[in-house]
């Protein structure tokens, strides 16, 4: 009979946060969706639960229960990178690994035929737990026969468990609490009113009645728990990356000679991509210098392409701007590929006056010359302070504009990167408040105050904002900071 294992990394984002901040161990720790008072607590450790902090609370409510709480968001990109790293480690133990798409931190492995290699499945499972522990991760490993059974037991167990026959697996499955499974809270609470708290009690209910009263999700859960619905393992099949490696006879410091070497190696990489039916989205260059160690660069064209001339131009711009600080002993080229878009042929398409493709190629050259952070755009966010109400994010590609018609012109408030401190305001001003120099004249009108206060979850603040109009018509946005006891200009209105 085929054997299957399920690996669960409990509260996976919380484990990643504690691995990133090991000094937080021993304190109440939580993962929140955003670092703001209205952020929602997603995962908590045992110390936080002891302080009555539970998932679903707001960040502000959690802080009111424990001022010692440490919390931070864990970005999805960080979780995805960790899932890839764990998958690579697990493929050393089994050739077939399936990470869960719905629950990051859950993996299924094919355990069939591994006993002769490891002596026993107990030793194999213990090796998996030891390897993940070396990565700073706590894992639960259950080896059984059915996909859902191993998953349910892993979600409700600890350490390593090996089930030796299907009857033992089904008997253990009866004791799994429903609260440990991904079941809708409303369905779980409704079943609790009937005294149904475990899978065993849940399986004693008629499946058709469950479908009518609780919906398809509960019906599928019943079928999987009973064994009527048993999904097979669906392992990932990672494709080998397209890469090449150059080991130089002597350290190279000349950019032109290095470009000549790259020009000989890039076309074969693009030909291999074309054979796969893919195009280049990003090219990563890893330089190993004689004395300075390793250095990485990324080249990203305006759109996925197989045009070697366009890619070489971007590489030349990046290397010319970087100015090799040391002799290059080794060079790696690694391609990240994607499938090309299938665009519909348009015979009578209306061409816009603005060529966005040309603009994107120009921005790609700017990124190549000055780095990835040289082309950004503002994104609105829900920050408490005005300077936190937006963030800069990399702009990968220009999209067609969709302007909205305005009947009236809108005023634009432009913020300074940092508030500029103003000289102390005298108590008596016979000539008026000279806010912005003699050329603009004194302030003639002031609107305000508009108070922004709070921030106690990081540091207390109290600002009183005003709009101040000078005699020459300049409209400035200023505030008085009661904590620092000073005036600042934060921007101006145009």
DSSP 31-88: EESSSSTTPBEEEE-HHHHHTT--TT-BHHHHHHH-TT-EEE---HHHHHHHHHHHHH
Give the range among 162-171, 232-241, 471-480 with minimum mean pLDDT.
232-241
Domain count, the chain: 3
Q: How far apart are CA 152 and CA 175, in angstroms?
A: 10
Are residue 308 and residue 219 in the same domain, yes or no?
no
**Pairing state of beta strands 461-470 and 443-454?**
antiparallel
Whether residue 262 contacts residue 331, with contact meaning beta carbons closer than 8 Å, is answered with yes
Strand residues in 169-278 grouped as ranges (E): 242-252
Across residues 392-417, what is the average pLDDT? 80
Are 223 and 303 members of one domain?
A: no
* Residue 428: predicted pLDDT: 63
Helix axes 76-90, 121-134, angle to 10 degrees: 140
Q: Is residue 207 part of a domain?
A: yes
Tell me the pLDDT of the chain averaged across its residues: 86
Residue 226 confidence (pLDDT) above 90: no
Residue 375 DSSP one-character state: S
Asked if residue 441 has pLDDT above 80, the reply is no
Q: Do 264 and 197 fall within a single domain?
A: no
Range of 455's domain?
413-493
Compute the average pLDDT of residues 163-189. Answer: 87
Question: Domain boundary at 293, 309, 338, which?
Answer: 338
Do 149 and 184 reside in the same domain of the chain? Answer: yes
pLDDT digits (tens, 9 = 90+) for 53-79: 988 888 989 998 988 899 999 999 899
Indicate whether 313 belongs to any domain.
Answer: yes
Same domain, 232 and 263: no
CA angle 39, 40, 44 (to 5 degrees): 125
Does residue 157 have a pLDDT over 80?
A: yes
Q: Are residues 333 and 257 in the same domain?
A: yes
Same-domain status, 303 and 228: no
**Reported confidence tier of residue 345, pLDDT bands at 50, 70, 90:** very low
* Residue 354 or residue 309, greater confidence: 309
**Percent of the chain at pLDDT exceeding 70:** 93
Q: Tell me, yes or no, whether 268 and 227 share the same domain.
A: no
Residue 88 has pLDDT above 50, yes or no: yes
362: in domain: no
- Please give the helix or strand (H or E) that residue 311 lies within, else none: helix 308-322
% of the chain at pLDDT higher than 90: 27
Position 366 in a domain: no
Torsion of CA 437, 440, 445, 449, to 10 degrees: -40
Instruction: Look up the pTM and report it.
Output: 0.65
Q: Is 431 within the bounds of a domain?
A: yes
> What does the pLDDT average to over 189-202?
89
pLDDT of residue 326: 83
Mean local confidence (pLDDT), 476-494: 88
CATH number of the domain bearing residue 12? 3.30.70.270
Tens-digit pLDDT profile for residues 290-303? 888 888 888 889 88
The reported pLDDT for the residue numbered 30 is: 93
Chain centroid to Cα 450, Å, comes to 36
More confident residue, 190 or 323: 190
Model confidence at 344, pLDDT cuts 50, 70, 90, reads: very low
Same domain as 75, residue 215: yes
2 inside domain: yes
Examine the pLDDT at 343 and tell me if it is beyond 60. Answer: no
Residue 208 inside a domain? The answer is yes
Q: At what angle do helices 207-214 and 216-226 cross, to 10 degrees?
A: 150
pLDDT band at 19 (very low <50, low <70, confident <90, very high): very high
The number of helices, as runs of H, and strands, as runs of E, in the chain is 15, 19
Average pLDDT, integer, range 456-484: 83
Task: Kindly tell me if the per-residue pLDDT of 347 is higher than 50.
Answer: no
Residues 200 and 291 in one domain: no
Q: For residue 443, which of 411, 410, 468 has the smallest C-alpha distance?
A: 468
Identify the domain boundary among 298, 321, 338.
338
Q: Residue 469 falls within a domain, yes or no?
A: yes
The confidence band for 430, taking pLDDT boundaries of 50, 70 and 90, is low
- Of 191, 218, 238, the one marking the end of a domain is 238
- Mean pLDDT to the nearest integer, 475-485: 88
CATH number, domain at 262? Answer: 3.30.1490.100
* Span 113-132, average pLDDT: 91
Question: Do 100 and 133 belong to one domain?
Answer: yes
| Same-domain pairing of 185 and 310 | no
The band of 188, judged by pLDDT with boundaries at 50, 70 and 90, is confident
């Amino acid at each position: 009979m085929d054997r299957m294992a399920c690996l669960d990394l409990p509260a996976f984002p919380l484990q990643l946060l504690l691995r990133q901040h090991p000094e937080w161990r021993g304190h109440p720790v939580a993962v929140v969706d955003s670092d703001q008072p209205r952020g929602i607590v997603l995962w908590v450790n045992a110390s936080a639960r002891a302080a009555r902090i539970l998932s679903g609370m707001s960040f502000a409510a959690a802080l009111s229960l424990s001022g010692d709480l440490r919390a931070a968001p864990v970005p999805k990109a960080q979780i995805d990178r960790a899932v890839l790293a764990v998958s690579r480690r697990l493929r050393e133990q089994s050739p077939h690994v399936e990470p869960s798409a719905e629950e990051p931190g859950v993996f299924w492995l094919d355990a069939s035929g591994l006993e002769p290699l490891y002596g026993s499945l107990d030793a194999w499972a213990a090796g998996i737990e030891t390897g993940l522990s070396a990565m700073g991760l706590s894992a639960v490993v259950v080896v059984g026969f059915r996909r859902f059974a191993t998953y349910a037991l892993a979600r409700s167990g600890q350490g390593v468990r090996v089930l030796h026959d299907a009857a033992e697996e089904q008997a253990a499955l009866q004791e799994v609490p429903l609260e440990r499974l991904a079941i809708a809270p409303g369905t779980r609470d409704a079943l609790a009113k009937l005294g149904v708290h475990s899978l065993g009690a849940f399986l004693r209910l008629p499946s058709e009645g469950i479908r009518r009263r609780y919906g398809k999700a509960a019906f599928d859960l019943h079928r999987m728990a009973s064994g009527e619905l048993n999904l097979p393992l669906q392992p990932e099949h990672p494709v080998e990356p397209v890469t090449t490696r150059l080991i130089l006879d002597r350290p190279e410091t000349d950019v032109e000679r290095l470009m000549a070497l790259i020009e000989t190696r890039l076309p074969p990489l693009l030909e291999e991509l074309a054979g796969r039916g893919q195009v280049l989205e990003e090219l990563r260059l890893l330089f190993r210098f004689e004395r300075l160690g390793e250095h990485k660069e990324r080249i990203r064209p305006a759109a996925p392409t197989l045009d070697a001339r366009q890619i070489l131009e971007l590489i030349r711009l990046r290397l010319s701007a970087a100015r090799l600080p040391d002799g290059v002993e080794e060079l790696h080229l690694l391609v990240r590929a994607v499938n090309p878009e299938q665009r519909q042929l348009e015979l009578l398409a209306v061409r816009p006056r603005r060529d966005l493709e040309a603009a994107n190629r120009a921005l790609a050259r700017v990124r190549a010359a000055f780095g990835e952070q040289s082309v950004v755009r503002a994104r609105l966010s829900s920050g408490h302070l005005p300077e936190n109400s937006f963030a800069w994010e990399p702009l990968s590609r220009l999209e067609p504009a969709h302007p909205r018609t305005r009947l009236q012109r809108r005023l634009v408030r432009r913020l300074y990167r940092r508030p500029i401190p103003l000289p102390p305001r005298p108590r008596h001003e016979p000539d008026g408040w000279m806010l912005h120099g003699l050329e603009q004249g004194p302030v003639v009108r002031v609107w305000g105050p508009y108070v922004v206060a709070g921030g106690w979850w990081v540091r207390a603040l109290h600002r009183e904002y005003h709009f101040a109009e000078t005699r020459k018509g300049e409209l400035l946005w200023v505030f008085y900071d009661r904590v620092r006891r000073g005036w600042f200009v934060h921007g101006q209105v145009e």
